Structure 1
Amino acid sequence: MSSSLRRGALAAAAIAFSIASLAACGAGSDAQTLQVKPDNAAVKVGDIQVQNALIITQPDPQASGPAVISATLFNNGATAQTVDSITLPNVNQTAQIKPAKGNGKLVVPAHGSVVIGGQGNASAVLPSGREAVQDGSVRKITFTFSKTGDVSLRGFVVPAESYFTKWGPSTVPTTVPSASATPTKGASGSPRPSNSASAPASATPTGSASASASAG
């Protein structure tokens, strides 16, 4: 996909996502404001409706690591349903699902809704998402519910930039292991001086330890 087409796809996804999200906040899935189908991933099967389905990748295109799925799930039925799995069948990716609070399965309450993605909401993480999908493409997403079964639709793949920053994964740090190893060596070497030197070191943080090392 060319860069111009990619930018157009991301812009269209952002506009549709923001409009549909505002509508979902103010009304149920069957309200009049939602009768206009948004120009993004949305589908209804039985009592279940899925809207605003997106795959959001790392903001840095060179970074490896997880991606996340963002969506709003509506249950118009009288019985609560659990989300048993969320998969990208064409690339053999299965999301790790966590509810907003506690453990166990993600539950969509009867006549209620659940938001996946964003701070304080449920999450669906694809461990190898960056390696499996490409920004600007469209992928099949399958949500499996306890009663309704499989609900599939196609969602845009977008990076966690601009509007999508608060919905996407954070950049995976790559220097944490080397940084944690360096203080360990310094800490193991600092207690070796005589007792008179070790007393100030225990009372003062790392600054005194580094000073004594430079003096030696």
Structure 2
Amino acid sequence: MSRSLRRGAIAATAVVISIAALSACGAGNDAQTLQVRPDNAAVTVDDVKVQNAFVITQPDPGAVGPAVVSATVFNNGRTRQTLDSITLPGTVGTVKLKAAEGNGPIVVPAGGSVVIGGQGNASAVIEGGLHEARNGNAQKVVFKLSKTGDVSLSAYVVPAKSYFTEYGPTELPKPPATLPTASATATPSGTATPSGTPTGTATPSGTTTPTGGSTQAAGH
């Protein structure tokens, strides 16, 4: 084999190995490792990156109940930051933030990340639900960090089903209360029951009893 052919074969082998390595890394960093979906919303501003952002509504269409914002916030800086607020421009929904532990703010550590949504994680609950956006649409979401400021992106609105069930609202609408059945017949409260039995037989007031009512004729 000539030197040129040998060099070509070595180069081709290197390309194949590189592609295989990249494919393996991509698979490892996708669903099995980071659970990153291909259609997820992500944006980077300065040291902060917001990834996998979704607005998750109630699982049943038309159900009344809170919705949530789910996302992962990364801090690549050297100083920790706090997530001061999440707003939804164009809506009247108010987002209530809660840290995973305690009553303090949601902290994004330096060189670390924080997950919002899901059991045991920080939460961002849209109280009263999100009535302005429908499932499948995109909703603008603004994350306000203590140092970086506003980080905005468009997040998909999805119901809490399938993949999103564990990240959806923990408070679901309650079924209507069971109405009482009409199994018993009610007695009118104003119905009076006679207290006794009449002691005599009433005589019509217009009836006259003959004085000689004896069956034997007088004078006989």
Under a length normalisation based on structure 1, what TM-score does the superposition of the two structures give?
0.64
> Which residue in the other structure is 1:126 paired with?
126
Q: What is the rounded CA distance, in whole Å, between the counterparts of 1:79 and 1:21 in structure 2? A: 29
Kindly indicate whether the alpha-carbon contact (under 8 Å) linking 1:74 and 1:114 is maintained by their aligned counterparts in 2: yes
> Which residue in the other structure is 1:153 paired with?
153
> Which residue in the other structure is 2:53 paired with?
53
Give the 5 Å matches for 1:1-216.
20=30, 22-24=32-34, 38-170=38-170, 171-175=172-176, 178=177
Check 1:22–1:48 CA distance in 2 against 1; reply closer, same or farther (3 A cut). farther
State the percentage of identical aligned residues. Answer: 57
Q: Deviations over 1:134-166 (max 9, x none)?
A: 111001000000000000000000000111111
2:79 partner amino acid: T
Q: What is the rounded CA distance, in whole Å, between the counterparts of 2:31 and 2:51 in structure 1? A: 9
2:167 partner amino acid: W
- Structure 1 residue ranges without an equivalent (≥5): 1-18, 26-33, 183-216
Q: What is the rounded CA distance, in whole Å, between the counterparts of 1:131 and 1:39 in structure 2? A: 23
Q: What is the rounded CA distance, in whole Å, between the counterparts of 2:125 and 2:71 in structure 1? A: 12
Q: What is the rounded CA distance, in whole Å, between the counterparts of 1:70 and 1:106 in structure 2? A: 13
Q: What is the rounded CA distance, in whole Å, between the counterparts of 1:140 and 1:42 in structure 2? A: 12
Q: Give the deviation of 1:92 after TM superposition.
A: 3.3
2:49 partner amino acid: Q
Kindly indicate whether the alpha-carbon contact (under 8 Å) linking 1:65 and 1:131 is maintained by their aligned counterparts in 2: no
Total equivalences in the alignment: 151
Runs (4+) of structure 1 exceeding 3 A deviation are 19-25
Q: What is the rounded CA distance, in whole Å, between the counterparts of 2:134 and 2:143 in structure 1? A: 20
For the residue of structure 2 that corresponds to 1:132, the secondary structure is coil
Q: Give the deviation of 1:107 after TM superposition.
A: 0.5
C-alpha RMSD of matched pairs (Å):
2.4
Q: Give the deviation of 1:94 after TM superposition.
A: 2.8
For the residue of structure 2 that corresponds to 1:166, the secondary structure is helix
2:42 partner amino acid: A
